[in-house]
Amino acid sequence: MSQDAHNYETGGAGFKPLALPDTGPNPLVSILMGNYNYARYLGSAIESALQQSYANLELIVCDDGSTDNSVEIARKLANRDPRVRLIEKSNGGQASAFNAAFAESKGQILCLLDSDDAFSPEKLTAVVQLFREQKETGLIVHPMVVIDSEDRKLQQLPFIGTFEKGWLGPRLVRRGGRWRFMPSSCVAFRRELADYCFPIPEPGFRTCADAFIFTMLPLVTEVGFIDQPLCRYRIHGSNVVGTRQISSKSVGNNRDSLVSTLDAVNLRLAELEIPVRLAAEKNIYIRMETFKYDLLTGLPFRELFRQYTKLASEIVADDLLHMKHKAGLLIANGMALLCPPGCRAWILTRISAPSRLKYYIQRAMAALSRFPGLTRRDSPDRQISRQTVSEL
C-alpha cells in the first residue's frame, strides 16, 4: 500500500482533533432553526427554546418559504422576545435554511432545533456545563424521547445502544463514517468547528442536512455525550426520515441519503486537505438498508439468504453495536427473511419503528435497573442511557 493510500485509510500522524479555546463562564448559545410549513408545531418549538434554564441564548428562525401561517407565529414570538430573530426567504431546502440561520448567529456554541421538535428546559445548561468541563470536546450528543403528533411518548432513543466519547476519527474512517450519531435536535457543537461544516452543501441536502454535520464533525473534534434525554423528537405524517411505517421507498431514501452524505463529506475533506476518506463499502448501516430494500422489492430468496448470512457475520463482528442490539438486528432481519414477502414491511415496521410497546419495555428496564445486581455497569466511554422516560 502506498503512503498516500495509507493516509486515506488511517489519516496518518496529522489526523487528530482540533485544540479548542475555553468557552468562558457564560457563552452565548445560538439555536438554529429551519422551518417549512410546520405552523402546527412551530410555536411550541420556539417556546421550548425560550424557556431554557440557561438564559444567554439567541434563537435564529429561518422560514424557508412556508405557505401556512408559520411566519405570523414566528414574528409574534420575535416581537415578544428580542432573543428571537426571524429570517424569511424563498424555499431552498433544509441546508439553505440552516446556512442562512448560521450566517446571522453570533454564539460560541451552536445547537440545532427542528421546528417540529422541542428542547427540555435544562438542555442548554447541561450543554454549556459539559463544554466547560471538557474543554477538548467540540461536539455533544444526547438521547431523545420520540413523541407523536399528539405529544404522546412512543419511546426513548437510543432504544438499545451505546454512546462513545473522545476522539472517534479513526473509528469513523474504519466504519465508513458510522458512529452512535443523533439527529439535529440532539446535536450541539462549538463555533470553532463551523468552518468545517458550513456552508452545508445545498443541492444535495434539501432534507437531512444535519447528516452532513454529524458525519463531518467527529472527523475534526472530540465527541462528548450527556446521558439524559434533552429533547422531544416528533414523528408525524410529514417527516422525511422519521417514520412509523417502513416501506421500500422509506428504506431506499435512507440508503441513498447515507451514500450521498458520505460523498459530500469526502468532497469537503478533500477541499480542506484532510487526508482521510469515508468508504461506503465499510458502512454496515448502508448494507443493512440495502438488505431491507431487497427484502421489500422481491429479490429471490436464495440471493436474500446469501446477503443475510454475510450481513449477520458483519453484525456479530461489529465493534459499535451493543450485544443486545446485535441480537435484535439478527432476529428482526431473520424474521423478515423467513416470512412471506407480503408481510415483510409489517414485520420490519413492528420491530424497527418507534412504538408505545417499546416505551413500556424501557420503563420496565429502567425499573429493574434500580435493583443492584440485575443490570451490569458499562464502562465510562460506552454507557447505555438509562434515564427513565417517566422522569421527563
Nearest to 124 by CA among 230, 204, 211: 230
What is the distance between the alpha carbons of residues 161 and 324, in angstroms, rounded to a whole number?
A: 8
pLDDT at residue number 376: 45
Query: Which parts of 220-300 fold into alpha helices (H)?
Result: 248-271, 284-296
- pLDDT-based confidence at residue 371 (cuts at 50, 70, 90): low
What's residue 5's pLDDT? Answer: 43
- Res. 350 pLDDT band, cuts 50 70 90: confident
pLDDT at 22 over 70: yes
57 touches 124 (CB < 8 A): yes
pLDDT of 244: 55
pLDDT band at 236; cut points 50, 70, 90? confident
Q: Dihedrals φ, ψ of 95, to 5°?
A: -60, -45
Which residues, at least 6 apart from 320, have a Cβ–Cβ distance to it below 8 Å?
162, 164, 171, 175, 178, 179, 180
Residues 48/145, Cβ–Cβ less than 8 Å:
no
Residue 357 has pLDDT above 50, yes or no: yes
Query: What are the CA-CA distances from residue 288 to residues 67, 271, 278, 320, 330 (Å)?
Result: 37, 30, 17, 15, 11
Mean pLDDT (whole number) for 345-370:
69
Contacts 24+ apart (CB under 8 A), 364-370: 366/390
* pLDDT 10s digits, 250-261: 999 999 999 999
Q: What is the pLDDT of residue 222?
A: 98
* Residue-averaged pLDDT of the chain: 88
What phi, psi does 222 have (nearest 5°)? -75, 150
What pLDDT does residue 386 have? 32
Residues 6+ apart with CB under 8 A from 66: 35, 36, 37, 38, 39
Q: pLDDT of 292-316, one tens digit each?
A: 999 999 999 999 999 999 999 999 9
Q: Is the pLDDT of residue 377 over 70?
A: no
If we measure between CA atoms, which residue out of 359, 313, 319 comes closest to residue 333? 313
pLDDT digits (tens, 9 = 90+) for 104-120: 999 999 999 999 999 99
| pTM reported for the whole predicted model | 0.87
Read off the pLDDT of residues 272-289 as tens digits, 9 standing for 90 and up. 999 999 999 999 999 999
pLDDT for the residue 368: 66
H or E element that contains 187: strand 187-190
Q: Which residue segments constitute the domains of the chain, with CATH numbers given?
A: 26-234 (3.90.550.10), 248-352 (no CATH)
pLDDT of 154 reads 87
- For residues 167-189, give the mean pLDDT: 97
Examine the pLDDT at 18 and tell me if it is beyond 90.
yes
In this structure, are residues 57 and 27 in contact, taking their beta carbons and an 8 Å threshold? no
Average pLDDT (165-189) is 97
Quick: pLDDT tens for 321-338: 988 889 989 999 999 999
Amino acid, res. 145: V
- Per-residue pLDDT tens for 71-115? 999 999 999 999 999 999 999 999 999 999 999 999 999 999 999
pLDDT, position 367: 65
Angle at 161 between CA 243 and CA 148, to 5 degrees: 30
- Is 337 in contact with 304 (CB distance < 8 Å)? yes
Supply 7's cell numbers.
493516509
